[in-house]
Structure 1
Amino acid sequence: MTLMIGIILAGGQATRMGGGDKGVLPLGDQTLLQHVIERLASQVDSIALNANGDPSRFSAYNLPVIADSMTGFAGPLAGVLAGMDYAASQGADTIVTAAADTPFFPSDLVECLQAAAQSMVHPLALAATPHPDRNKLRHPTFGLWPVALRDDLRTALHAGTRKVVQWTDGHHGRLAMFPSEDAFFNVNTPDDLVKAQAML
């Protein structure tokens, strides 16, 4: 049986929210992060949190906290790499990533990503939704990632690659299509948090 580890990406700088950890903001009677943990927990074998800085601020969540191995803010790909390295230490061959500020993502996220990546030697897939202007809108913080490519990703990051889709396209990553963009609504601003309360 394949071990599936979920990695919650919480390493963003939250500049549009005034800085700090967006995941600890309240949404209903829980935090954003609690909503994400609950939604992901039923889809994976275990969860770890990718965040930089003092890990003790997340102690209430009782999850392993893994920091980026790269210095400076290298974006979500650095969090993916940290997740891959952690998964390798746990004996897992794939990870699924989810963003800490996106509380309504699909309950069949992992199932659909796995289906999209079926038959790939190194399963690699990103979530996507239909978009009227761009045909498809990719959600690069929601993906299925093969641990076997972690050294390739490390090399790419050190060479300056920062865009998720630049790296995934280079490895012929596939798309898992979901019907509604609302499922990937993420909280970037105080107004977004008000909207999320209404959606809840």
Structure 2
Amino acid sequence: MNLIPNQKYLIIGLVLFAGIFAQAQLARDKDMTYTIQPLLGFETVYRSTPRPHTVTQTMYGVRLTGGVDILSAEIEYTQSTGTETFQTAPEKIKSTDEKLKLGGRTLFKLSNIFNFSVRFGGQAKKSKEEVTSTGITTTTEKPVEYSPYLGAAFGLHIGKMNVSVGSTVVIKDVNNMEKNEIQNVVAIGFGI
């Protein structure tokens, strides 16, 4: 089977997710948790139009996590929109990104209140660009991109609620780190 490297990462992520989910189902004690987290933050993404550059834009979404502290499965959906204005053609570019992350996380309890987590997995990204040049708007939907991600977060946990601040790097090109995306997020979680 001839797979491009990003598809391999997605398959590895799916296998990891299935393994984590299966292990979590075996842990039938009080340590098993499920969390839903609304997300709000900003991300730095690579754009190639009109010239290669990075742009920072706001993002929002939701993350679902389930499992035990040592290894939990996570799925996350985010959406972001950014508009750039230029002096020359194209005068305006509006980009909309939808991202789906599937992976795992490990939580380290630093105390009864504070924790630190590490996350990993694969991301699928769907992008749409609306380019306005001399009054004419052209919409382009780009093919879905698959990339691995790694991240870390610092959290505060009180009862069934937790607040975390984290950063995640989506690895787009290991040879050119400027093309990698960085997602900084504040998340408020509610445990079940």
What is the TM-score with the length of structure 2 in the denominator? 0.24
Larger helix percent: 1
Larger strand percent: 2
The structure with the larger Rg is 2
